[in-house]
């Protein structure tokens, strides 16, 4: 095991801690904490259907007008869910506060998915999700997509990586309200991998 720490800042707006991106400068008094992560040092490898789960995060109707290129990521998300169904890969879907933000968009057919869960926190790693993963033997990899890249996708990825799960984020199936937020979140993920495993050739 390799021990690593993530620096988190308490965000008053959301009443919870969020990860600080690399290079972020804190200019006023605030609450921060270090969160230890224990990470198995393994390189990302090929996906095997029998050891993979797909995570679809908050692809909800109310986000349609706000998220950049939402139509494009829905299209890719549709294909991912269809492919998972054909290959027999379990799919776990979350919906952020569906009472206020609506259900998953109709274009994504949820027939046969393993779970559809409401949530009110950023990460998809809910107790029900952890229980579902424990019930699926030999899960090694998660394919993650949805919104928003810099919040729920990033928090989910960090929690899964901290549990020793390989996370493959589908870049063209995730977005944010701002392209800058999306870009920095994906870059942050790549930098985390580089710092763990060295440069890519």
Which residues are known catalytic residues? Answer: 58, 119, 152
What SS3 state is found at 111?
Answer: coil
Backbone φ, ψ for residue 110 (5° rounding): -95, 10
The residues, ordered by sequence, that sit 6+ positions from 9 with a Cβ below 8 Å of its Cβ are 17, 18, 20, 26, 30, 31, 32
* Among the listed residues 61, 69, 79, the one whose alpha carbon sits nearest the alpha carbon of residue 175: 69
Cβ atoms < 10 Å from Cβ of 61: 16
Give the separation between CA 160 and CA 170, rounded to whole angstroms.
15
Quote the CA–CA distance of 142 and 189 in Å, as a whole number: 15
Distance CA 185, CA 88 (A): 30
Bridge pairing between strands 52-57 and 32-39: unpaired
Given a contact cutoff of 8 angstroms between Cβ atoms, the answer to whether 154 and 183 are in contact is: no
């Amino acid at each position: 095991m390799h021990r690593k720490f993530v620096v988190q800042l308490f965000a008053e707006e959301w009443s919870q801690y969020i990860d600080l991106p690399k290079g972020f400068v804190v200019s006023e008094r605030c609450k921060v904490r270090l969160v230890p992560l224990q990470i198995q040092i393994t390189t990302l490898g090929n996906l095997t259907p029998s050891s993979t789960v797909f995570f679809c995060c908050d692809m909800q109707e109310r986000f349609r007008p706000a998220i950049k290129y939402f139509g494009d990521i829905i299209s890719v998300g549709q294909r991912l869910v269809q492919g998972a169904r054909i290959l027999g890969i379990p799919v776990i879907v979350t919906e952020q506060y569906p009472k206020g933000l609506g259900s998953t968009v109709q274009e994504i057919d949820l027939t046969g998915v393993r779970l559809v869960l409401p949530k009110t926190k950023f990460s998809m790693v809910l107790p029900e999700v952890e229980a579902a993963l424990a019930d699926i033997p030999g899960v090694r990899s998660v394919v993650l997509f949805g919104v928003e890249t810099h919040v729920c996708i990033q928090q989910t990825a960090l929690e899964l990586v901290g549990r020793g799960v390989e996370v493959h984020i589908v870049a063209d199936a995730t977005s944010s309200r701002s392209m800058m937020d999306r870009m920095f979140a994906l870059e942050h993920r790549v930098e985390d991998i580089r710092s763990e495993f060295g440069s890519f050739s």
